[in-house]
Structure 1
Amino acid sequence: MKRTIRTTALTVGALIGALALPAGPAQAGTTTARIDLRVLVVSDGGPATDAIAAELDTAGTPYTKVDLTRTDRPVIDAAFLADTVDGRPRAKYQAVVLPNDNPFAAGSAEMSALAAYEQTYAIPQVDAYTYARPQVGLQVPTFGGYSGSVDGVRAQVTPAGQAGPFGYLDGAVPFEDNSPTVGESYAYLSAPAAGADFTPYVQAPVPGTTKQGSLVGEYRHDGRRELVVTFVYNQYQQQFRLLARGIVEWMTGGVHLGASRNYFAVHVDDVFAADDRWDTQLNCTPGDVDCANGAGTPNPIRMTPADVDQAIAWQNSHHFTFDLAYNGAGSVDQREDNDGVDQLADKLIADRDKFRWINHTYTHAFLGCEQNVTVVPWTCATNFDGSTKWVGLATIDYEIATNRVWGQVAGLPLETDELVTGEHSGLKILPQQPQDNPNLGLSLTVEGVKWLASDNSRDPEQRKVGPATTVSRYPMNVFYNAGRAAEQVDEYNWLYTSRAQGGSGICEDNPATTTCLPAPLDPATGYSGHIVPLETRIALGHVLSNDPKPHFIHQSNLAEDRIAYPVLNGVLDGYDALFADNTPVVNLRMKAIGAELQRRAAWKSAVQAGRVTAYRIGTTVTVQGPAGTAVPATLPTGTTLGNAAYGTAYAGAVSGWTASAGTPLSFTLPSAAVPAAHPAGTTAPTAPAPRTAVPAGVTERVSATPDS
């Protein structure tokens, strides 16, 4: 995986000709205006503005949303947009997002107010999805352009885009084409209009020609700047996810609250243990609770020393580290059955420093209610009075403490406050167990556990369990009970086809299931042709969404056919093909992920409660938040906080979290981040919008830390 940051060198002439970045705050007379660090999002209920709002939400960037479909919405006028604070002119919003270039009726006073506001304070405007026309600096598509589907099109960031707001991308912006029967993306492709001051940032080929048409570009006119987007999207589509960071950086000039990274972590459960194998005849897993009355003969799957070598080689080639969640009893049982020999454990312990390790309990026991497995699905056993029988405190303590001690004796580099229970047991699981085992929280207190894994598919929100905070993990649809591709396909067909096709009928019983199949997959090609691309796309979508939650697989998936690697390769190799070296995947261990989610939640609460004040005056950014709340900010390279350099480098900027004592934090921007701007009230209708220089490139490596 790429980690070294690439430096882009441009001549001054090429720079001026290719690029225009957001301008700094305007001057009001002789007083520098205050620009509040908040975005105005004007929505018509369409997916494009909602996608941008979702990006701001995820990053922690404050915004105000005005819904044009509501009759009780505020009127956008001069007083709504600006006022005076302590004798200084104040712009209440650092950027404006509109559903298109002019969503109001002809002659609208609101659009006039917005235009005047943008001119006065050099505020950029994003046209979230608009028709290509001269009013946005483009020719209409009927003049040598194109209107229609761009499914599967491979767009490209232009040199100006890479030197500017989209410099974190390697260049290619592939548009999704997930279904041959569904139109997923629609766009207008056209060239800049004659005489327009328009710079394309992202282009795609006009079908049937050698010409390129703009999909994203900057239009400068009348002392205003607009980012013109001419394709429709929603917040989940890959093409938007690739461009979302650049849209935000363009409209904020790289100065905004909030921080964003592309995260990926993979937990490998059941290490040292063996996983039961799917039986393709019984359509269940002998040895596990889904085979009624103990049917079938268990045929376990367990890694070998060669699988460990492969895992290390794969990690080295991808600059990535697995988190191994281990069960010590698996090795103890192996030695008892093999005259004291366990080659797998010997190999893993010898190479223990190649991985991160997590306590996964000693025997992988189920730690929720006592299970009645005489029926499928299992139920919770009950006492005489009908109350639930819970696994006791002593059992939970034994599972956690014994495994921890086993790992310490083996020299595993543990963080003893992290825990993954077997099957996330002890936590609520519907429909059988609608509440946590009350003994779990007590045990976590005794054992000093602060970070507890949960299953994102059933327990997605971070919450407290006793003294511990949950860290939700994404399950990959690479099954724990499959060591071979044919087994994976057989079980996948059973789960996701109809009863008439020999399947379980889960899709008939629950139409909301998203992985349903119209027909069974081919056993020979179904894994590589269907499951791998789908799981890759889902996981990569998480990576591109500023989502730090880890994914989890099982040791069985690194054994035999090693079926996890095609998916993992698809994610990381696919990522490297899209992103520049200055934007590496960030690979955190579980407690760091938990802390990241925790401080995001605290920051979001502070913003929603109106307890954050942030603004920019010239080269100074001032932020005040509640005491004890960490403040996230993304700022230009060269920014200082006090006398120290601020933040860590990522995607061409610096960003990070700063602890707040409740008093103002003062950041100083580099002088290059504040170009000259026209005085308030003196804009000329024909004046071009101001331009700025490209920030200096960064060359240092980026470490895998929570702030990197």
Structure 2
Amino acid sequence: MKGTIRTAAFTAGVLIASLGLPAGAAHADPATPRIDLRVLVVSDGGPATDAIAAELDTAGTPYTEVDLRQSGRPVIDAGFLADTVEGRPRAKFQAVVLPNDNPFAADSAEMAALAAYEQTYAIPQVDAYTYARPEAGLQYPVHGGYSGSVDGVPAEVTAAGRAGPFGYLDGAVPFEDNSPTVGESYAYLSTAVAGADFTPYVDAAIPGRTTRGSLVGEYRHDGRRELVVTFVYNRYQQQFRLLARGIVEWMTGGVHLGASRNYFAVHVDDVFAADDRWDTELNCTPGDVDCAQGEGVPRPIRMTPADVDHTTAWQTRRNFTLDLAYNGAGSVDHREDNDGADPLADKLVGDRGRFRWINHTYTHAFLGCRQDVTVVPWKCATGPDGRTAWVGRTEISDEIAKNRVWGRAAGLPLDDDELVTGEHSGLKLLPQQPTDNPNLATALADNGVKWLASDNSRDPEQRRVGPAETVSRYPMNVFYNAGRAAEQVDEYNWIYTSRAQGGSGICEDHPDTSTCLSSPLSTTTGYTDHIVPLETRIALGHVLSNDPKPHFIHQSNLAEERIAYPVLDGVLDGYADLFAADTPVVNAPMKDIGVELRRRAAWRTAVAAGKVSAHRIGDTVTVEAPDGVATTATMPAGTTRAGAGFGDAYAGQVSGWVTAAGPLTLTLPSSAAPLAAPVGVDGEAASTRTAPPTRVPAGVTEQVPYTPER
């Protein structure tokens, strides 16, 4: 076969690996192949391959994409897939992802080259979304199976899936059903062809039958292994997010660059202060800039000691720590107005060790341009020369330093590196303030601030502001000016309904807004029935996307009716129902999140520039990266570096960051050696079994893959 290396020594090396013999024995043989830790993604522009590529991108796993739609694309032949380096056979890719089991024309030389490559180097293949058919080891759906919508279907990880690549899941894989009018998921449910070596990993009940059909399964034939996925998905859907880790671990054998974890951190802003309340008649917030000056009567929302008790009990029950972003002047002002008494501050300070604390500036002052609030919306004031008038360096520095002094005096366990400015002010804010306050960077330097919070909805990418780097935070749509569910719903209705329905009309002006309403929600049931499920789904989507960015709410949401807790509980309960105990949610402090984001950015840049390479020979993994760039990798439990354990345990594996001087060398445990091929149903080795017949039976038409609406 053209380009395929076959020698007696090489065949012996592959045999040693395939039989699971000690890897060191194979490594001594110069014919033991080198497998580069890079994935080949062959795309047809569909959502399934796009989703897998996005998962690799986010984790930091190098891959090469070949787009079949491009006329000038590389030809996939033996030379493209493999060569020899320093006398050793080299496989250039550790796994292959195809749009389906065979996206090429009949009798394609490219598919033949891929099949030969997979056989020669024991390279696994993922069929990102394929029709259930004998070529993929499955019966056509007309033979007792099903093809159609699987919206809302409760799929399950099988025993083989839990013992294999999907062991980080508890079992349930619920398919989304977010709209009764939009088709979201489509699948082919079927059982294995008689005699095929097919192992379902995720399945679901076949409608109208007592049998279950495969949605994800492994098919072994002709010396090849395929992960056969028979449902369509995009990168955002929960069912894919749940299975994405397992797909990557299956195709890489758990040995790959990059890492993935599930993060959830929640910042509570304005602690010690009081938040102004939404006025349901005026449709604005008296005391804040969305109301005209003097309009309405401010009615503040502030936590009580009982709210603190509820919060600490909730944290204990959930094994979760909130980050409290505090404003010391809130307590000082309260004491001045109440003969020196502030039971809330006394309670919070007494329980200070139960929380993480972040400097939120002393008075929560706006630290950007000078605001002209004589108009709604406000605008930046200008000086006599017509230039923007900015809050000065000294004022900004005083807000940071005074709050820090107050916190230290109260004994709060602060990290001086972290800062959240009021309303993320000082940073650019469109449309009024398109640039950062030029005095912000110097004030941050004056106070040694290294991590500065930003609003992900308007400033999503980490960037440098003077000596600090930003940490983008997701705003939860639980409003700062609502302490009760009815207030929240009233404001939500005003924002997201049409002008004809009494709303703001923002959705008419910006139809891409994702939370628009066709009609107002009930102020009695709308929060529980609509807002809580939606906000839970959005936040849980972030958690499942290997996204470390924190979310933020406000102290008002922990007061009065405590409306934040249903959303937070929804996220944590939903997560607990889905994941095994060895895959906990990661609840990281702000500076650790900042470091993670910074490392990822440097790693992605190095990978994109082709400055990262890695390969495996037997039980040894070697990684080369630019000096100063930390390496991220995921390996089997028991992997060592210079005799010491590598990484931290997560989802049944170990992963972590390492900054090495020169190449990084890792030693895999013996359990990481490729396993012997399982025996087929009739005793024949599965790796030598041939594929089932490929003839399409009479009356069956192969369907064009279905694309879900986003």
State whether TM-score is above 0.5. yes
CA distance in 1 between counterparts of 2:685 and 2:306 reads 68
| CA positional deviation for 1:689 | 3.0
Q: Partner residue of 1:447?
A: 447
Q: Report whether the alignment pairs 1:672 with 2:671.
A: yes
Q: Partner residue of 1:273?
A: 273
CA contact (8 A) 1:27 1:677 kept: no
1:244-295 per-position Cα deviation (integer Å, ceiling 9, x unaligned): 0000000000000001100000000000000000000000000000001320
CA contact (8 A) 1:507 1:513 kept: yes
CA distance in 2 between counterparts of 1:308 and 1:660 reads 45
- Structure number with greater CO (CA < 8 Å, separation at least 6) is 1
CA distance in 1 between counterparts of 2:87 and 2:56 reads 30
For these two proteins, the number of residue pairs brought into alignment is 663
CA contact (8 A) 1:27 1:121 kept: no
Q: Report whether the alignment pairs 1:475 with 2:471.
A: no
Unaligned runs of 5+ in 1: 1-19, 679-685, 692-708
CA contact (8 A) 1:222 1:687 kept: no
CA distance in 1 between counterparts of 2:685 and 2:309 reads 64
CA distance in 2 between counterparts of 1:569 and 1:270 reads 21
CA contact (8 A) 2:263 2:547 kept: yes
Q: Report whether the alignment pairs 1:688 with 2:686.
A: yes
Q: Partner residue of 1:190?
A: 190
The verdict on how the C-alpha distance between 1:294 and 1:401 changes in structure 2, with shifts beyond 3 A counting, is same
Q: Report whether the alignment pairs 1:532 with 2:539.
A: no
CA contact (8 A) 1:418 1:449 kept: yes
The verdict on how the C-alpha distance between 1:366 and 1:676 changes in structure 2, with shifts beyond 3 A counting, is closer
CA contact (8 A) 1:315 1:321 kept: yes
CA contact (8 A) 2:98 2:128 kept: yes
- Aligned letter for 1:189? L
CA distance in 1 between counterparts of 2:23 and 2:262 reads 28
CA distance in 1 between counterparts of 2:212 and 2:388 reads 66
CA distance in 2 between counterparts of 1:241 and 1:445 reads 40
Question: When the two structures are superposed, what TM-score results if normalisation uses the length of structure 2?
Answer: 0.92
CA contact (8 A) 1:192 1:198 kept: yes
| CA positional deviation for 1:673 | 1.0
Runs of 4+ in 1 over 2 A off after TM superposition: 23-30, 675-678, 686-691
CA contact (8 A) 2:647 2:656 kept: yes
CA distance in 1 between counterparts of 2:23 and 2:535 reads 43
Q: Report whether the alignment pairs 1:494 with 2:494.
A: yes
CA distance in 1 between counterparts of 2:514 and 2:549 reads 21
- Superposed, 1:194-233 pairs within 5 Å as 194-233=194-233
- Aligned letter for 1:672? S
The verdict on how the C-alpha distance between 1:439 and 1:422 changes in structure 2, with shifts beyond 3 A counting, is same
| CA positional deviation for 1:676 | 6.2
The verdict on how the C-alpha distance between 1:411 and 1:549 changes in structure 2, with shifts beyond 3 A counting, is same
1:99-151 per-position Cα deviation (integer Å, ceiling 9, x unaligned): 00000000000000000000000000000000001111100100000000000
CA distance in 1 between counterparts of 2:259 and 2:105 reads 36
Q: Partner residue of 1:153?
A: 153
CA distance in 2 between counterparts of 1:339 and 1:399 reads 25
| CA positional deviation for 1:512 | 1.5
- Aligned letter for 2:385? D
CA contact (8 A) 1:203 1:216 kept: yes
1:507-563 per-position Cα deviation (integer Å, ceiling 9, x unaligned): 111112111100000111000000000000000000000000000000000000000
CA distance in 2 between counterparts of 1:75 and 1:29 reads 32
| CA positional deviation for 1:24 | 9.2
- Aligned letter for 1:670? P
Q: Partner residue of 1:11?
A: none
Give the SS at the match of 2:293.
Answer: helix
| CA positional deviation for 1:672 | 1.8
CA contact (8 A) 2:257 2:634 kept: yes
CA distance in 1 between counterparts of 2:390 and 2:23 reads 62
CA distance in 2 between counterparts of 1:675 and 1:390 reads 63
- Aligned letter for 2:635? L
1:640-665 per-position Cα deviation (integer Å, ceiling 9, x unaligned): 0001011111001011010122x111
Q: Partner residue of 2:561?
A: 561
Q: Partner residue of 1:436?
A: 436
Give the SS at the match of 2:503.
Answer: coil
CA contact (8 A) 1:287 1:297 kept: yes
CA distance in 2 between counterparts of 1:108 and 1:124 reads 19
Unaligned runs of 5+ in 2: 1-18, 678-683, 690-710
- Superposed, 1:384-463 pairs within 5 Å as 384-463=384-463
CA distance in 2 between counterparts of 1:386 and 1:187 reads 62
Q: Partner residue of 2:78?
A: 78
CA distance in 2 between counterparts of 1:621 and 1:30 reads 16
| CA positional deviation for 1:599 | 0.2
Q: Partner residue of 1:616?
A: 616
Q: Partner residue of 2:341?
A: 341
| CA positional deviation for 1:208 | 1.2
CA distance in 1 between counterparts of 2:129 and 2:166 reads 18
**RMSD over equivalenced CA pairs, Å:** 1.7
Give the SS at the match of 2:686.
Answer: coil
CA distance in 1 between counterparts of 2:60 and 2:610 reads 13
Give the SS at the match of 1:32.
Answer: coil
CA distance in 2 between counterparts of 1:361 and 1:227 reads 53
CA distance in 2 between counterparts of 1:466 and 1:336 reads 36
CA distance in 1 between counterparts of 2:539 and 2:493 reads 21
CA distance in 1 between counterparts of 2:668 and 2:198 reads 28
CA contact (8 A) 1:221 1:687 kept: no
- Aligned letter for 2:342? D
- Aligned letter for 1:406? W
Q: Report whether the alignment pairs 1:91 with 2:91.
A: yes
Q: Report whether the alignment pairs 1:607 with 2:607.
A: yes
The verdict on how the C-alpha distance between 1:24 and 1:508 changes in structure 2, with shifts beyond 3 A counting, is farther
CA contact (8 A) 1:483 1:560 kept: yes
The verdict on how the C-alpha distance between 1:377 and 1:687 changes in structure 2, with shifts beyond 3 A counting, is same
- Superposed, 1:11-22 pairs within 5 Å as none
Q: Report whether the alignment pairs 1:515 with 2:511.
A: no
Give the SS at the match of 1:219.
Answer: strand
| CA positional deviation for 1:385 | 1.8
CA distance in 1 between counterparts of 2:275 and 2:198 reads 59
Q: Report whether the alignment pairs 1:660 with 2:655.
A: no
Give the SS at the match of 1:126.
Answer: strand
CA distance in 1 between counterparts of 2:650 and 2:509 reads 46
CA distance in 2 between counterparts of 1:358 and 1:672 reads 44
CA contact (8 A) 2:222 2:688 kept: no
Q: Partner residue of 2:10?
A: none
1:457-496 per-position Cα deviation (integer Å, ceiling 9, x unaligned): 0000000000000000000000000000000000000000
Question: When the two structures are superposed, what TM-score results if normalisation uses the length of structure 1?
Answer: 0.92
- Aligned letter for 2:674? P
- Aligned letter for 1:352? R
- Superposed, 1:366-377 pairs within 5 Å as 366-377=366-377
